[in-house]
Amino acid sequence: MTDEETPASAGGTISAEVTPAPNGDLAALELHPYDHLLRSEALPHIWCQGCGIGTALGALLHGFEHASVPVEKRVIVSGIGCSSRVVYYAKTDAYHTTHGRAIPFATGVKLTNPTLNVVVFAGDGDLFAIGGNHFMHAARRNMDLLVVCINNFNYGMTGGQGGPTTPEGALSTTTPYGNAERPFNLPEFAAAAGASYVARWTTLDVRRLQATFTEALARHGFRFVEVLAPCPVSFGKTNKIGTGAEEMEYYYALEILKSRIESTSHVGTEIVLHRPIVVGKFVDLERETFLDRYARVVAKAKE
Amino acid sequence: MRKEVRFAGFGGQGVILAAYILGRAVSVHTPMHATMTQSYGPESRGGACEADVVVSDQEIDTPEVDRPDILVLLSQEAATKNREDARTASLVLSDVDLVQLDDEAARKAISLPFTRTADALGKRIVANMVMLGALTRASAMVPREAMEAAVAESVKPGTRELNLKAFDAGTRL
Amino acid sequence: MSASQNLVLHPEVDASRTGAHFLLGDHACAEGALYAGCRFFAGYPITPATEISEHLAERLPELGGQFLQMEDEIASMAAILGASVAGAKSMTATSGPGFSLMMENLGLGYMMEVPTVVVNVQRGGPSTGLPTSVGQQDMMQARFGSHGDITMIALAPKSPQEAFDLTVHAFSIAERLRTPVLVMMDEVVAHMHERVVIPPPGEIPIHARPKPDVAPAKYRPYKPGPDLVPPMALAGDGFAVRFTGLTHDETGKAVTTYEAQRLLVPRLREKILRNRETYERTELYRTEDASTLVVAYGITARVARRAVDLARAKGQPVGLFRPATVWPFPEEKLRSLHHVRKVVVAEINLGQVLLEVERIVGRYAEAIHVGTAGGKVPSPEAIVEACE
């Protein structure tokens, strides 16, 4: 754990107009451009040194700012797990719900007050194991939600158990002989279920994540962003990838932009240990959302 | 006064609607009380269809009908199933063209051409209204005006006239 | 921004149903919700509660409200909590198996202090049991079904009229005390038609949820008022609220210590127990001189009333105590009838509310159970026999 860095600074997302603080200058730290977006009294956060969640949160806050989402319209709903702790640090309306149930909770929030910009922020186990059913139905409905999945390939908070995104053969505390299951390919799953917007980046791609959140927050319908993130104490270490910085090097070596792949190439979006990881934007469609269609139901009912 | 009424027939005859109209007439248009219950579950799919109405001048403690005082039989299957009750009921109404009663029940039953009368009006579907007209007259349990009001409120506006005509025809059988 | 972005759920006043009706219990319950201002319903079809969903699927859009059929009961329960934190009066309706699936998020609603209403139309169990027949076998589940130490409020209507009245009441309590409230119907009441009189809009007073009267910077989402209920800011109100199912302090910060737990969990219980006058409803029938008391709720209370009359006709001094609010049990009111020496608890189960009644009257009266295994209401004769 660290108490030295806020998630935002960990992500290196200081915007241009602010002069970086000299090391150790507490007064200058208070001028951090994201201070007003964080509940500074709740810091230090609980994430481990080298964890990618703070980076992703920093990029999301950047997105809120750059997509000009009014502060009072920002809502984050989370489930259970390390990623879900963002609700304690981000200064938005924030709801920490039960394991896997952030999406239906967020659905209720959004439908009751469609002027809100509602983000679900959770981990791979939360969204795709226990909450998988909700994910696919919200995507099918094209519900107006931005769903951010921190995918670190295991259950980090409980000590590194295998989950629905653990690569085949990977080690975890519940797959001590290597994972016998194939993982979900999240971008394809989201696209097949009907998501209007699908992107994947690693926490190495801070500027692309910022741009993606800025774009996705301004769109409507079901939007899904997968963020591949290091879990330095569990997945990385157990699978000999290394801790935080080394996991980032792993991504640096393996990640490949979707746009750079030859159409004839056999490289797909599936994640296989030590094989190339395709990142980029996969789906970006303007489609009628649930709210658009429901407005017609109401009009018909009132006839 | 507590009267238990059972309507028994098959799906599509408007058995439930008939029971609803009787209950509504009592509840909304008289100071008396009524409950309606119907069979649910697998037995309510397809063929047989039954609905029970309890009418009382007191609050009704139990909506359950165990020995109907009035039995309306609209199919042979219903007549067979309710054979015992047909013997003990004080009033049995049946469709003369659809139901053959055993001798004991037949002696006191009022068998009338509900379906045939509806056919003559051009719509077989209003046979249940013909039956309600006959029931209103034969039972003298609920004022005719209350029944007519409930009929008018319970059918689609476009079919109101036809349904009331069928009800009226039933009172004249 | 598309046109649909302006669809905010404001409770439009609806006078279209004012007057006398001959209504199905399930529909009466749905109309009660609408009367109370419910404009968000999420549910999953299940016998014998489906008619509530179907009715609201038709009626809610007419009123600009939101009807959503979810992928399961877990999602339904989560969605109504989400709707409530954004300001809607919300409800779901289910039956036994679905009620089991709702337990986790029911506890979330209790811990987060989110007003909402959950209707459970009880059928015969365990498991899939008797889907189309009556039961009162979920009463202890209502009370203790969600894990942890919860104190639930549960109401049991005896008729379609009460399905309407108590559903209105349930919303009022939920809003007033910031907590989920259960309406524990049974299949007979749900599936029977009877006269239901719907008063003009506004005639039944309905509590509103307490709103914060401080600036956002000073607002603490879990700082209780004198009645132990914390005022509630909504999503979008500009208060940057933080609600959580973890043990938390007054600011909503997760504090997973015994010290925080010791403050929070007893306060949640006391909030319910100290405000009994807001929700407790009972009915007494011929109890003045009764030495034997029948305790019954829901449809069984109607049968019990007949049993009381039958016993009285035989010269036995029998009375009826009917808790319309079953949980928390109206303990003091039952104890005020301390002249009784025998209490017959009639319910459609193998002995649930019996346990509570035994606890309350055990020192001065004998408690006897008259039940069925589900699928059938106890007969008046069986109750009379137990009274002898």
**Other beta carbons less than 10 A from residue B106's beta carbon:** 14
Domain for residue C119, yes or no? Answer: yes
pLDDT band at C1 (very low <50, low <70, confident <90, very high): very low
The verdict on a CB contact (< 8 Å) between A133 and C75 is yes
ipTM score for this prediction: 0.96
Final residue belonging to a domain, choices C279, C299, C324: C279
Which domain range does residue B72 map to?
A: 2-171
User: In terms of C-beta density within 10 A (0-12 exposed, 13-18 middle, 19 or more buried), how is residue A264 classed?
Assistant: exposed
For the domain that residue B33 is a member of, what is the CATH number?
A: 3.40.920.10
The helix/strand/coil state of C373 is coil
Residue window 216-255, chain A: list those with CB within 8 Å of chain C. 220
Q: Is the pLDDT of residue A247 over 80?
A: yes
pLDDT band at C96 (very low <50, low <70, confident <90, very high): very high
Q: Is the pLDDT of residue C97 over 60?
A: yes
| Residue owning tokens 């309710």 | B82
Residue range A240-249: average pLDDT?
A: 91
Q: Is the pLDDT of residue A235 over 90?
A: yes
Same domain flag for C373 and C290: yes
User: Which residue of C lies nearest to B27 if distances are taken between CA atoms?
Assistant: C195
The β-bridge relationship of strands C325-327 and B2-10 is unpaired
Tokens of C317: 């001094």
pLDDT at position A265 is: 67
C-alpha pair distances (Å), A65 with each of A101, B90, B126, C211: 27, 80, 66, 29
Q: B20-42 pLDDT, tens per residue?
A: 999 999 999 999 999 999 976 55
Which domain range does residue C217 map to?
A: 7-279
Average pLDDT taken over every residue of chain B = 94
Domain count, chain C: 2
User: Which residue of A lies nearest to C244 if distances are taken between CA atoms?
Assistant: A96
The verdict on a CB contact (< 8 Å) between C192 and B35 is yes
Name C291's Cβ contacts closer than 8 Å, sequence gap at least 6: C317, C339, C340, C341, C342
pTM of the model: 0.94
Contacts of A109 in chain C (CB under 8 A): 82-83, 85-86, 235
Domain for residue C1, yes or no? Answer: no
Q: Lowest-confidence range among A37-41, A143-147, C79-83, C277-281?
A: A37-41
- By residue count, chain C amounts to 388
Domain count, chain B: 1
User: Which residue of C lies nearest to B56 if distances are taken between CA atoms?
Assistant: C194
Contacts of C21 in chain B (CB under 8 A): 24, 27-28
Same domain flag for C324 and C372: yes
Q: C272-296 pLDDT, tens per residue?
A: 999 999 999 999 999 999 999 999 9
Q: Is the pLDDT of residue C233 over 70?
A: yes
Measure the CA–CA gap between C161 and C163, rounded to whole angstroms: 5
pLDDT at position A263 is: 67
For the four alpha carbons of A44, A50, A52 and A56, in that order, the dihedral sign comes to positive
pLDDT band at A1 (very low <50, low <70, confident <90, very high): very low
For the domain that residue C98 is a member of, what is the CATH number?
A: 3.40.50.970
C-alpha pair distances (Å), A113 with each of B40, C35, C140: 39, 21, 36
Please say whether the structural domain A7-302 has been given the CATH code 3.30.70.60: no
Edge to edge, what strands does the sheet with C242-244 contain?
A255-257, A277-284, A197-202, A222-228, A145-151, A117-123, A74-78, A93-96, C242-244
Q: C149-202 pLDDT, tens per residue?
A: 999 999 999 999 999 999 999 999 999 999 999 999 999 999 999 999 999 999
Q: Is the pLDDT of residue A31 over 70?
A: no
Radius of gyration of chain B (CA): 15
Same domain flag for C372 and C331: yes
Same domain flag for C176 and C154: yes
Query: Most B CBs within 10 Å: which of C194, C320, C383, as the mutation test of the B interface?
Result: C194
Same domain flag for C295 and C363: yes
The verdict on a CB contact (< 8 Å) between B35 and C21 is no
The verdict on a CB contact (< 8 Å) between C4 and A116 is no
